[in-house]
Amino acid sequence: MPLTPYLQSLSEFVQASPSSYHAVAEAARQLTAAGYTELAESDAWDAGAGKHFILRDGAIVAWLQPVGAGPTTPFRIVGSHTDSPGFKLKPKPTTGTLGWLQAGVEVYGGPLFNSWLDRELEFAGRLAFADGSVELVRTGPFLRIPQLAVHLDRGVNAEGLKLDPQRHLNPVIGLGEVDHTDLVGHLAGLAKRAGKNVAGYDIVVADTQAPGVFGVDDALFASGRLDNLSSVHASLQAMLDLTSDLSEIAVFAAFDHEELGSETRSGASGPILSDILTRIGAGLGASESQRLQAYASSWCLSSDAGHSVHPNYAERHDPANRPIAGGGPMLKINANQRYATDALGAAEWARACQRAGVEYQEFVSSNAVPCGSTIGPLTATRLGIRTVDVGLALLSMHSARELAGASDPENLSRAITGFLAPA
C-alpha cells in the first residue's frame, strides 16, 4: 500500500541519511529551502531575528528567533541524535581470505549483530582529502555479512547463534585478490577523486532496504535507523511548520555519537548546544546573569526511541506500564534519572500533547531489566535547563531494521510542534 504523506517524507529522509553526515546534509537542505540561513561558527553572526542553522560534523543546530526576543527570552529546544548503531570502516580496510574480498569493520555502538546478517548493505559517510576538502559518499548495495549455513552449524537453532565480532562480522565485498583491490580508492572514485589523496574517512555501514508499511490495515512501519532518525525527522518537520509568531526562541538540535555516549565535540555531552545558546544570548545583549535567567525559564525535549511491549517477551517489561507501537509517542520515566523526566516535565509534555490533540503513553522499565539512557540527562546536567524525555515505541531497537506503529511518527511530530509553540 502507498505510504501516507508523512511516512513518505520520513522514508525519503531515512533513505537520504545512511550516515550522520548525510542526515545533517539533508536536514540542512530542507532548512535552506524553508528560508533558514547557514552560519559558520568561525564568523560573526547576525544578531537579529530570523531563521539560522550551523553544522558541526555530524550534528546540526537550527533556531528560529522571533522579533522582540530579548536577553532573558527563554529557549524551547528539541534534541535528538543523528547516529545509529552498526559498524564503521577500519583503517587498512581491504581484507580477504580464500578468494573472498572483505572489508575490515569495527562495531559502532550496540547493534543487534544477527540482524545485520544476510542483508544488502552499503558504505556511507565522509572522506577528508589532503587539500582540506570533504566529500560525502555512499556506495549503494555493496556488501553483505554472510551467515554460516545451518548444515555447518547444526545446533544453531537449539543452542543459539554465537557471533565473535572480530571473526564473524567481516562483510564480503567481492571475489579476487586483496592486492588488486583498493576499497578507499573505490570510495574516492564515487566523489571523482583519487584514492591516494584521501587523508582520512568516517565511513559507516547502513542497511539499504527501503522503509515500508505492512500488516493488517497497514498498521506497522518498518525501517532502518528509526533510532533515531524518526526523532530527527519529527523535530525537523515540527521546526519547519513553525511560524515566526513565537514568544520563545525555538531550537532544533540533532547531535552525533549518542550511541557511543555523546562525549565528542558534536555530541550532547560536548559544548555544541551551550556554544550556540551562549552566542544567541550574546547577540541579544545578555549578560551572564541574564543568560542564566533565560535558561531558568527554558525547556528541552529530548526525543529518542523507547521500547514497545514485546508480545513474545512480556516478562521483560513492567507489568503495569506496557506502551505499544501505535499507541502514541511515549513519555520516558526512570527513578534513577536515566531519563530526565520529572513531575513538571510530565505535565509540560501532557500540555504539549493536549495542544496537538495527540494521545501519549508512559514508559518505565522493569526493575529486573535496567533501561539505557539518552541525551536528556546530559543536556539537563550541562545546561541546567529542565528536560523531559520522550520518543517512539519500537520493537527490535538497534536492529538493522526496526518496527514502529505507522501512526506514531506523525503523532510524535505533532506533539513536538505543540511543545515548540506553546502559546
Residue position matching grid coordinates 545446533: 155
- Cis peptide preceding 367, ω within 30 of 0: no
pLDDT digits (tens, 9 = 90+) for 298-343: 999 999 999 999 999 999 999 999 999 999 999 999 999 999 999 9
Inter-CA distances, 143 with 1, 17, 18, 116, 172, Å: 29, 18, 14, 11, 6
> So what's the pLDDT on residue 371?
86
Q: What single-letter amino acid sits at 348?
A: E
Could you give the domains of the chain?
Answer: 5-84+224-420 (3.40.630.10), 86-207 (2.30.250.10)
> So what's the pLDDT on residue 316?
93
Q: Which three cell numbers stand for residue 222?
A: 518498518
Q: Are 156 and 150 in contact (CB under 8 A)?
A: yes
Q: Which residues pair with 365 in a beta bridge?
A: 317
Chunked in runs of 10, what are the mean pLDDT values of the chain (423 residues)? Answer: 93 98 98 97 90 98 96 98 98 94 97 98 98 98 97 92 96 92 96 96 98 97 98 98 92 97 96 97 96 98 97 94 96 95 98 97 92 92 97 97 98 98 82
Q: Rg (Cα) of the chain, in Å, rounded?
A: 22
Q: What single-letter amino acid sits at 407?
A: S
Q: Are 358 and 400 in contact (CB under 8 A)?
A: no
Sign of CA dihedral 113, 118, 119, 124: positive
